[in-house]
Structure 1
Amino acid sequence: MQPELARTFLDMGAEYERYRPGFPDDAVAVFASERLGDVLDLGAGTGKLTRKLVPLADRVVAVDPSEPMLDQLRMILPAVDVRVGTAEDIPAPDRSQDLVTVAQAFHWFDESLACAEIARVLRPGGALALLWNTYDPECAWDRACARVLHPGWSDQISERTLPPAMSPLSGFRPVTSAWIPWSERITRDDYLARWMTVSTARAADEDTRADMLSRLEEILDHDPDTRGRTDLDLHQGTEVYVYRHDTGIA
Structure 2
Amino acid sequence: MTTLVDSPTNAAVSPLTAAGARAELAATFLGNGANYDRYRPGFPLETVRRVAAARGGLLGDVLDLGAGTGKLTELLVPRADAVTAIDPSADMLAQLSAKLPAVDTRVGLAEDLPLASGSVDVVTVAQAFHWFDRDAASAEIARVLRPGGVLAIVWTVPDPRCAWDRACYRLAHPPRDLGDDDGALALGGDVHTPALPGFETLRGERLRWSEHLTRSDYLQRWGTVSTLLASSEEQRAATLAGMEAILDADPDSAGRQLLKVRHITEVITYRVR
TM score, norm. by length of structure 1: 0.95
Distance 1:45 1:159 in 2: 25
Q: Is the 8 A contact 2:157 2:185 kept in 1?
A: no
Q: Which amino acid aligns with 1:20?
A: R
Q: Residue 25 of structure 1 corresponds to which residue in structure 2?
A: 45
Tell me the SS of whatever aligns to 1:62: strand
Of the candidates 218, 232, 248, which is equivalent to residue 191 of structure 1? 218
Q: Residue 7 of structure 1 corresponds to which residue in structure 2?
A: 27
Deviation sequence 1:172-193 (CA, Å, 0-9, x none): 0000111100000000001001
Deviation sequence 1:72-122 (CA, Å, 0-9, x none): 001000011111111011110000010000000000001111001001100
Q: Is the 8 A contact 1:137 1:158 kept in 2?
A: no
Offset at residue 158 of structure 1 (A): 5.5
Gaps of 5+ in 2: 1-16, 177-181
RMSD: 1.3
Q: Is the 8 A contact 1:186 1:234 kept in 2?
A: yes
Q: Is the 8 A contact 1:64 1:86 kept in 2?
A: yes
Offset at residue 35 of structure 1 (A): 2.5
Offset at residue 165 of structure 1 (A): 3.1
Q: Which amino acid aligns with 2:44?
A: P
Distance 1:145 1:177 in 2: 26
Q: Is the 8 A contact 2:159 2:187 kept in 1?
A: no
Q: Residue 81 of structure 1 corresponds to which residue in structure 2?
A: 104
Distance 1:4 1:36 in 2: 34
Tell me the SS of whatever aligns to 1:55: coil
Distance 1:159 1:231 in 2: 25
Q: Residue 177 of structure 1 corresponds to which residue in structure 2?
A: 204
Identical counterparts, % of pairs: 56
Any runs of at least 4 consecutive aligned residues in structure 1 with deviations exceeding 4 A, and if so which?
none
Gaps of 5+ in 1: none
For 1:218-237, what aligned pairs fall within 5 Å after superposition? 218-237=245-264
Offset at residue 157 of structure 1 (A): 3.1
Offset at residue 11 of structure 1 (A): 1.2
TM score, norm. by length of structure 2: 0.87
* Matching of residue 128 in structure 1 with residue 187 in structure 2: no
Distance 1:209 1:152 in 2: 17
Distance 1:234 1:159, change over 3 A: closer
Which has the bigger relative contact order, CA under 8 A and spacing at least 6?
A: 2
For 1:136-215, what aligned pairs fall within 5 Å after superposition? 136-152=159-175, 157=185, 160-162=188-190, 164-215=191-242
Q: Residue 85 of structure 2 corresponds to which residue in structure 1?
A: 62
Deviation sequence 1:153-212 (CA, Å, 0-9, x none): 78x7365224x1311000000001111000000000010010111110000000000001
Q: Residue 12 of structure 2 corresponds to which residue in structure 1?
A: none
Tell me the SS of whatever aligns to 1:31: helix
Tell me the SS of whatever aligns to 1:57: coil
Greater shift in the superposed pair: 101-110 or 1-10: 1-10
The number of aligned residues is: 244
Deviation sequence 1:10-56 (CA, Å, 0-9, x none): 11110000000100011221111323211000000000000000010
